[in-house]
Structure 1
Amino acid sequence: MEYKEHKKMYKVGKNWAVATLVSASILMGGVVTAHADQVESNNYNGVAEVNTERQANGQIGVDGKIISANSNTTSGSTNQESSATNNTENAVVNESKNTNNTENAVVNENKNTNNTENAVVNENKNTNNTENDNSQLKLTNNEQPSAATQANLKKLNPQAAKAVQNAKIDAGSLTDDQINELNKINFSKSAEKGAKLTFKDLEGIGNAIVKQDPQYAIPYFNAKEIKNMPATYTVDAQTGKMAHLDVWDSWPVQDPVTGYVSNYKGYQLVIAMMGIPNSPTGDNHIYLLYNKYGDNDFSHWRNAGSIFGTKETNVFQEWSGSAIVNDDGTIQLFFTSNDTSDYKLNDQRLATATLNLNVDDNGVSIKSVDNYQVLFEGDGFHYQTYEQFANGKDRENDDYCLRDPHVVQLENGDRYLVFEANTGTEDYQSDDQIYNWANYGGDDAFNIKSFFKLLNNKKDRELAGLANGALGILKLTNNQSKPKVEEVYSPLVSTLMASDEVERPNVVKLGDKYYLFSVTRVSRGSDRELTAKDNTIVGDNVAMIGYVSDSLMGKYKPLNNSGVVLTASVPANWRTATYSYYAVPVAGHPDQVLITSYMSNKDFASGEGNYATWAPSFLVQINPDDTTTVLARATNQGDWVWDDSSRNDNMLGFLKKVQLTVPPYQVNGVSQLTGV
C-alpha cells in the first residue's frame, strides 16, 4: 500500500490518499478516479444486473433464516453524473464534500475530457488494427467446414486447433495474425507449485461485486451510529504532539496456536497503523491499543502509544503485520519495515521486534521494544526483491509488494510467516505470462476471448505482463524472540497475469483445515473494464478472497470457486465504506470467523471530520462444501471477541429497493440508505 507513480490508485506511504475515488454513479457519465498526477475517467457502458434489495445485507436475517436475493433485479446502462452531498456524520449517507484538493480528496466531478489514453474503452474500435479483434471471430455452425476453415485449422498447431474447436470458433474467421498468436500459447498442464488466482477468478470476483450477491456482500451499516475512535487522539509518532489520527490496518495479539484474541493479563491488545490525515509527506506508524478482555464498548479502548516512540520520520515507516504471545510472556511483533530513503518507492521488508509490556491498575504501557531486526527482503527466485523491481522496465505501472507478515505457529511450536509479495524469477512477470493458458482459468471459449481481449488492449496487456502478486510463505527458526529465516518456499497462491496485489494474508485454522484469507482490489488487476464496471455500479472494487487446504503448506483451493468471500457494498467515499478485512476465529464456533476492518477511507474521503475508524465487526459462516456465507450479525465498532454480548443489530442498515434509472441510491432526491 505505497506511494506509486502508477495510474492504478494514488497512495502516500501505506495511506490511501484516494481510495478508488468514486461516487455511486449508476447511469450517466463515468467514474472519475483521482491520482497524484492526473484525473482519469473510467467509463463502463455495459449493462449489468444488480441485486438492489438486501435487508441488513440480505444474508442471514434476525430470525436466523436465509433471506434470498431479490429476483427483481434491474438492468440499465451506466452513464450518469455522480452527485456529491455535504451530509453530516449523523446523516445516514456521508458522501464526501467537493474540494479543490484533488490530490487528497474524493473527486466527484465527472468532467468530459479529450484525454482518453487511460480511459477504459474498447481500444480496437479506435484503431485501424483489427487483426486480433474478438468481433472478427465467428462461431461454427452445423454445416460442412468451409475450405477456409480447413485451411486455417492446418495452420494451427494441434493444441491451438483443439482449443479453437472446443470454443466452437469457426477457424475460417481467424486472421493470419490471430493464428500466429494462438500458435504461441503455452498449453502445458505441468503441475503448478501452488494455487492460482486466474483471470477467470478475477472476473468472478468483479462480477460478484456488481451482483451484490448476499452470500458475499458486506453488510450495510448504519452511518448514524458510526463514531470516530476516541483512542486515536494521542501523541503522534512523527510530530510528538497530541493529534487526531486516522486508524486503518489493525491486528490483535493472538494466542499462538488457537488464533483466538489473547487474554493478556485481563486485556485484549490490538496493534494498528495510524497517522495524521492528509500528511503531505506521509504518516504511517504502528500503535498499541488495549481494552479489558471481552469489553465491547468502543469508547473504552485506550492507546499505549507509538510502538517505536515519538521521534519517527516519514522516511522509515512501519506497516501492517501480526503478533503473538511468546512462551516467556513477551509479545512477538511481525511487521513491515518500509524504507523511502534515497527516493525509493517503498523498499518493503519483513521485520520483527519483541514487546515488553507493563500491566497494572493504570492499564497497559510499553516497557521496552527489543530485538528489532529485518527478517526478509526477498530472495529473487521465489520472491521479487526491491532491486529487481527498481531495475524493471515499467516502474510507473508496476506494483512492488513485500509486506504484511502473518505469523502461524503449529502445534509442535514451529513458526511460519505468510506474507504478501510478488513472484521472483521462478515464475516471473513478463509478457510471456499472457501466453500461459494456465493463467486464464476458464474453458477454451473464455480463454480465447480473454486472450484476444488482452492482446487487443495495449494498457491491459501491459498490466497483465506486470501482474505477479503472490501470497508467500517461509519458515522461521525456533528462537522465538530472535528468529531467523530457516527456509523459503514457493508461493501458496500466485496471481500472475491477473492481479499485482493481494494484501494482508491471514491464516485461520478451523478444525483440521487451514483457511487463507487476503484482501484485494479489482483495480489492481489487469481488466480495467471490470474495474470500471465495479466502480460505476457499486462505487468501489474491494474484496476479500479465501482459500482452504488440509495443511498449512497447501495445496490451497479457492473458496466459492473463484475465491471471493466478501465484496464491497457501498461507494468508497461513503462513511460506511470498509477495507482491510482481518478474520479471527470465534471460540465455540469452529465454523465461523469474525471479520474486522476499518471504516471510512483515509484522509476524510467521506467528508471533513470523518476520520478512518474501526468498523463494526460481523460474522462469516464457513460451510462444509468450501463455500462461505455472510451473516447479518454485527457488533459495536471495534469488537474483536465475539461472545453473548457482542451482537448489536442497531449497527446494521437497510438499502431499499430502487430502480437504477435515478441518481444513485436516491428516489426523488432522497437517499434510500436508512438505519434499521
Structure 2
Amino acid sequence: MGNVKKSSVFKGIALSTIMLVSGFAGMPLSTNAAEEAETAVWSRQDAQGYDLSKDNTAPNIDNVDEVAPDYWVWDTWPLRNRDGSIAQINGYQVVFALTASKEYTWSGRHDEAQIRYFYSKNGKDWKMGGLAYESEDALGARQWAGSAMMDDDDKVHLFYTATGRKGEEQTTFEQRLAKTTFDIEADKKSKSVELSNFGEHEILAEADGEYYETQEQKTGNIIYSFRDPWFFQDPKTGKEYLIFEGNTAGDDKSLDPENIGDADFRETHNVPAGAEDYNGNVGIAEAQNEDLTDFELLPPLLEANGVNQQLERPHILVKGGEYYLFTITHKFTFAPGLTGPDGLYGFTNDSLRGDYEPLNGNGLVVATPEDDPFMTYSHAVMPNGTVISFVNEYRDENGELQFGGTFAPTLKLSIHGDETKVTGALKPGQIMPSH
C-alpha cells in the first residue's frame, strides 16, 4: 500500500500563485512545485508482518576481525564519484567511518565520534589512514555520519553531521548538516593514501521548524534527528541533493488517516497513545550551486509519522530506471503498537519524489537474526547492490555477548522490481568497484 501527501504544499506553489496574479494568468501553472511537495507515507498498515527468513536475514556472525584494534569503528560509507559510482584513487578504494578510541566505552563512543578514513587496493583488506580533517577545525563537539564525493577536479567533499557545540559543558544533541573539502592522492612510495589542502568547515542546513522538527518542537522521550547527509545526483535531471534523516515539524502532534492506513484497516486498528511522538522522515535539500555550499530545504521524501522515530542514514540507488530509497532503523524506534527488527528497510518509486512503495510489502530488506538481534547495523547499499554494515553487539561461538566495532561481512542482495533477497555474504567490509 502506498500513500502520498500533497497537503504540505511547497512554497513554490504560493509563489506561482503570486506570479499568476501579477500578469501570468494566461500561462498554465507548472506542476514542478506540486511534484516537489509530494511526501510519500510509510503507514502503520504497511509496517506489519515482519516474518524473518533466510531471504531477508543476515547470516549469523560468531567471530570478527578487527580492522582497527585500538578503535571502535561503526557507521561506514565509501568515497563515491559525483554520479554515485565508487571512486578510485590510482587503484585504491577509500571508505570513511565513525571512530572512537577504545579508551572510551562502547556506549560512550557516540559522544567522542570522529571520522577517519581507510584505504584498500582490493576492496577487502583495509588500512586505516587517519582523521579525515584537522580535529580543531571540525564543527560540533563530535562528528556523526555523512557521505563523501570526489568531484571532477579530484576534490573530495565530505558531508557530515556536526553534533553539539565545541566546548559545551553538558553534552547536547543539536545536529546540523556540515561539509568540508580536501585533496586526496595515492603515494606510490609509501603505498598509502594521503589527504591534504583541507578546506573550511561550513554549515549547510539546520532544522527549519517548517518541514523538519527543531529540538524545541520535539515531544516524547526518544532521540531527536537531523543528521546523516548523503550526497545524491539525480541521473534523470542532473540536479544534486542531500538526503538526510529528520523528524516531521510542527507543534501539533497528530496522525493523518494516511499515516494509519486505509479505511478498512483504520476500523480495526488501535493506535496507542504516544504513537504521534514517533515522527521520523527522510529529508531532502537541493543544491543551489555547483560548489555545494548552498542548499534549500524541500519537503520530505518520505514520512513515518506514527510508525518510526528514526529513518537513519537514508540513501538512494537507481537501478533499471527505478529509485530505491533505503534507510536503517531499530526495533526500539518503532512506535507503540508496532514491532520490527533492527535492520535495513527500503522503498521504490519510478522517480525521486512520489509514491514510494515499501519493498517486499512492508519495507524490510535485511534483518538481524532473531537469536542475535543487535548483531549488525548501519547498512548501506552500494551501487552494485551489495550491502555494507558494521558489527554491533553479537554473540560469539560460546553464546557470550561481545561488542563489535568493526566492519561486518558484506551481503549480496538481489533486487528485482519491488522484491529483494539476501543471496550470500562476502568478506568483512568488502566493496566491489563500479563498472
Length-normalised TM-score, structure 1:
0.54
2:41 is aligned with 1:248: no
Q: Which amino acid in 1 is paired with 2:261?
A: G
Give the Cα–Cα distance (whole angstroms) in 1 for the partners of residues 233 and 433 of structure 2: 22
Percent identity over paired residues: 27
Q: CA deviation at 1:474?
A: 1.1
Q: Which amino acid in 1 is paired with 2:178?
A: A
Write out aligned runs for 1:424-443 (5 A): 424-425=249-250, 430=253, 432-433=254-255, 436-442=256-262
8 Å Cα contact 1:322/1:406 also seen in 2? yes
**Residue 220 of structure 1 aligns with which residue?**
60
Change (3 A) 1:311 1:254: same
Q: Which amino acid in 2 is paired with 1:382?
A: Y
| 3-state DSSP of counterpart to 2:55 | coil
**Residue 426 of structure 2 aligns with which residue?**
635
Q: CA deviation at 1:643?
A: 9.2
8 Å Cα contact 1:515/1:546 also seen in 2? yes
Change (3 A) 1:550 1:275: same
**Residue 40 of structure 2 aligns with which residue?**
195
**Residue 134 of structure 1 aligns with which residue?**
none
**Residue 54 of structure 1 aligns with which residue?**
none
Q: Which amino acid in 2 is paired with 1:450?
A: H
| 3-state DSSP of counterpart to 2:210 | coil
2:146 is aligned with 1:306: no
Q: CA deviation at 1:414?
A: 2.7
Q: Which amino acid in 2 is paired with 1:288?
A: Y
2:343 is aligned with 1:543: yes
Q: Which amino acid in 2 is paired with 1:636?
A: K
Write out aligned runs for 1:168-567 (5 A): 193-202=38-47, 204=48, 207-208=49-50, 211-221=51-61, 223-224=62-63, 226-229=64-67, 232-233=68-69, 244-257=70-83, 259-277=84-102, 278-279=104-105, 282-292=111-121, 294-296=122-124, 298=125, 301-309=126-134, 316-339=141-164, 341=168, 343=170, 345-361=172-188, 362=190, 363-389=192-218, 392=219, 394=220, 397-411=221-235, 413-425=238-250, 430=253, 432-433=254-255, 436-442=256-262, 444=264, 446-451=265-270, 454=272, 461-462=273-274, 464-480=275-291, 482-485=292-295, 487-527=296-336, 530-531=338-339, 541-567=341-367
Q: What whole-Å deviation, never above 9, does each CA across 1:36-70 have from its counterpart, x for those lacking one?
A: xxxxxxxxxxxxxxxxxxxxxxxxxxxxxxxxxxx
Task: Say which one has the larger Rg.
Answer: 1
8 Å Cα contact 2:376/2:391 also seen in 1? yes
Q: CA deviation at 1:327?
A: 1.7
**Runs of 5+ in structure 1 lacking a partner?**
1-191, 234-243, 455-460, 535-540, 587-592, 645-676
Q: CA deviation at 1:429?
A: 5.5
2:410 is aligned with 1:620: no
| 3-state DSSP of counterpart to 2:360 | coil
Instruction: Return the structure number with greater helix share.
Output: 1
Give the Cα–Cα distance (whole angstroms) in 1 for the partners of residues 314 and 279 of structure 2: 16
Change (3 A) 1:440 1:573: closer
Give the Cα–Cα distance (whole angstroms) in 2 for the partners of residues 334 and 449 of structure 1: 44
| 3-state DSSP of counterpart to 1:199 | coil
Change (3 A) 1:483 1:607: farther
Q: CA deviation at 1:442?
A: 4.8
Give the Cα–Cα distance (whole angstroms) in 2 for the partners of residues 314 and 474 of structure 1: 20
Give the Cα–Cα distance (whole angstroms) in 1 for the partners of residues 401 and 53 of structure 2: 32
Change (3 A) 1:498 1:618: same
Give the Cα–Cα distance (whole angstroms) in 2 for the partners of residues 338 and 315 of structure 1: 5
Q: CA deviation at 1:506?
A: 0.9
8 Å Cα contact 1:617/1:637 also seen in 2? yes
Aligned residue pair count: 387
Change (3 A) 1:215 1:333: same
RMSD after superposition: 2.7
Change (3 A) 1:256 1:310: closer
8 Å Cα contact 1:415/1:478 also seen in 2? no
Give the Cα–Cα distance (whole angstroms) in 2 for the partners of residues 338 and 429 of structure 1: 26
Change (3 A) 1:573 1:217: closer
Q: CA deviation at 1:479?
A: 2.8
Write out aligned runs for 1:10-21 (5 A): none
Q: What whole-Å deviation, never above 9, does each CA across 1:238-287 have from its counterpart, x for those lacking one?
A: xxxxxx11111000011221x22111221101000011344458321110
8 Å Cα contact 1:429/1:496 also seen in 2? no
Give the Cα–Cα distance (whole angstroms) in 2 for the partners of residues 585 and 627 of structure 1: 17
**Residue 43 of structure 1 aligns with which residue?**
none
Q: CA deviation at 1:500?
A: 1.0
Q: What whole-Å deviation, never above 9, does each CA across 1:567-624 have from its counterpart, x for those lacking one?
A: 22144577xx1110000122xxxxxx1010001339x9x9687541101111111113
**Runs of 5+ in structure 2 lacking a partner?**
1-36
**Residue 582 of structure 1 aligns with which residue?**
380
| 3-state DSSP of counterpart to 1:254 | strand
Q: Which amino acid in 2 is paired with 1:549?
A: N
Instruction: Return the structure number with greater strand share.
Output: 2
8 Å Cα contact 1:619/1:630 also seen in 2? yes
Q: CA deviation at 1:201?
A: 2.4
Q: CA deviation at 1:642?
A: 6.4
Give the Cα–Cα distance (whole angstroms) in 2 for the partners of residues 468 and 317 of structure 1: 25
8 Å Cα contact 2:393/2:401 also seen in 1? no
